Amino acid sequence: MQAFWNEKFQTPQMIYGETPNAFIKEHVDLLVHAKRCICLGEGEGRNAVYLADLGLNVEALDASDVALAKLRKRAKEHYVAIKTRHTLLEYWQPEPIYDAVVCTYLDLAKNEQMMLFEKAVAALAPEGIFIAELFSESQIHFNSGGPKNALLLYDINAIIAWIKRLPCKVLKLSQEIVMLNEGTQHVGRASVIRIILKKNLTA
């Protein structure tokens, strides 16, 4: 898996583009007051650098050291400091210290997807925000990017069931057809799941 992503990120180009994900940008008002933020499966850092530019204290976690090297280079060019965590999400032990957790297109296997939600919410301080955009199972019918393996796509009904058990409020949870324009990898009509959760004050 790491070898797969390292090879993909080998090019000097930002393969998912230089601008942040549109959904994250649209809801940045929910994030700007966050003191500490972590971006999960952050790749080359388009969201992390955007948020650090806005003054957030940002960390980025990813399995690919090649992607994280690109992220650090870009952070340097922007005169921002971003702490990188080179690890699989599976090995990360979250503590409830972040005001925001951000995740775009972390393609996990079915048996690991619930862990993403559990760890993201576990990482949030009270009233912290988890915001994510993920490819839905319907993305298998589109040619705009994402895995061509249904086992790496997300089922909104499963997400609903997982979230019910977590100490958080759902601010948004929807499956939408959107137009992606993210570098060379995500281009065109796509089926995504958009999620915003707020950690309970008393969790």
Q: Which residues bind ligand SAM (CB under 6 A)?
A: 1, 5, 16, 21, 41-43, 46, 62-64, 67, 88-90, 104-108
Residue whose beta carbon is closest to ligand SAM: 43
Q: What is the H or E stretch that residue 3 is in? A: helix 2-8
CB of 99 to ligand SAM, least distance (A): 19
Nearer residue to ligand SAM within complex by CB, 94 or 203 = 94
- Backbone phi and psi for residue 133, each to the nearest 5 degrees, phi listed first: -130, 125
CB of 107 to ligand SAM, least distance (A): 6
Nearer residue to ligand SAM within complex by CB, 16 or 117 = 16
Beta strand 98-104 with 124-135: parallel, antiparallel or unpaired?
A: parallel
**Distance between CA atoms of residues 161 and 118, nearest Å:** 12
CB of 195 to ligand SAM, least distance (A): 14
- Asked whether 175 and 193 are in contact (CB, 8 A), the reply is yes
Q: Scanning the structure block, which residue is given the tokens 């999620």?
A: 195
Nearer residue to ligand SAM within complex by CB, 14 or 166 = 14
Nearer residue to ligand SAM within complex by CB, 46 or 198 = 46
CB of 36 to ligand SAM, least distance (A): 18
Angle at 181 between CA 179 and CA 9, to 5 degrees: 135
Q: What residues form DSSP beta bridges with 175?
A: 193
